[in-house]
Amino acid sequence: MATGSAEQATRRRTTARGEATRARIIAAAADLMYIRGVNAVTLDDIRTATGTSKSQLYQHFPEGKPDLVRAVVSLRGEEALVREGQRLARLNSLSGLRRWRDAVVQGATVHGTVHGCALGNLAVELSGQDDQTRTSLAEHFSAWEGLLAAGFDRMRDNGTLPATVDPEALAVGLMAALQGGYLLAQTAHDVTPMATSLDMALAHIESLARKPASHGTA
């Protein structure tokens, strides 16, 4: 192998290792911050959990914890969008909306423990601390609402919902019911408040329907 090719291969391996280390730090920080809360987790906690040195951590996150928190927000936001994108990609019926509701409520309980929304928890704790982080959170929630609005738009197009409905407004209202439900369920250690909140929001949407909930395949 030529000297130049060998150097390029070495750089690629170094870059790949660095990216893997960075991803590992972010994932560990996200888990710790979800369990303990952002403000309770220190960089030393993260270094211990990942087996990384102080120099390694600052190599990837020059500003320290603020940089790392922003990376955690991006990770949680992308995870939420991937998950909800899969759930909502074909949404075009009231029955599909009910199935989404069931999946969300079921997903809030893991091994008998009620979990809050990872992105919502970050929003509660961080929105007043850093404007860059708040903006990132707002953008991810807006994208999530966009997935819901697209489903409502399809339901309007196929006649399930009347032409007069505002898909974006319905998406905002349903997101508020979802996030409020997450918070109440997490506090009560019971998904019942979350289910009730979503059911009331869906009942309003169903009241707007002009046709039975038999349209579409989702």
pLDDT by residue (tens digit) across 91-130?
A: 999 999 999 999 999 999 875 678 889 999 999 999 888 8
Share of the chain above pLDDT 70, in %: 89
Instruction: Reply yes or no on whether the pLDDT at 74 is more than 60.
Output: yes
Helix 131-157 crosses helix 94-107 at what angle (to 10 degrees)? 150
3-class DSSP assignment, residue 110: strand
Instruction: Reply yes or no on whether the pLDDT at 217 is more than 50.
Output: no
Instruction: At 86, list the tokens.
Output: 């899969």
Say if residue 143 is exposed, middle or buried (CB neighbours under 10 Å; 0-12, 13-18, 19+): middle
Q: Average model confidence (pLDDT) for the chain?
A: 90
The vertex-10 CA angle with 4 and 11, nearest 5°, equals 90
CATH 2.30.110.10 for domain 1-62: no
Bridge partners, residue 109, by sequence = 114
Domain with CATH 1.10.10.60 in the chain: 1-62
Question: Model confidence over 178-211: pLDDT tens digits?
Answer: 999 999 999 999 999 999 999 999 999 999 996 4
Domain 74-211 in this protein, CATH class: mainly alpha
Split at pLDDT 50, 70, 90, the class of 8 is low
pTM of the prediction?
0.86
Domain with CATH 1.10.357.10 in the chain: 74-211
- The reported pLDDT for the residue numbered 128 is 87
13 CB contacts (<8 Å, ≥6 apart)?
none
Instruction: Reply yes or no on whether the pLDDT at 13 is more than 80.
Output: no
- The reported pLDDT for the residue numbered 109 is 84
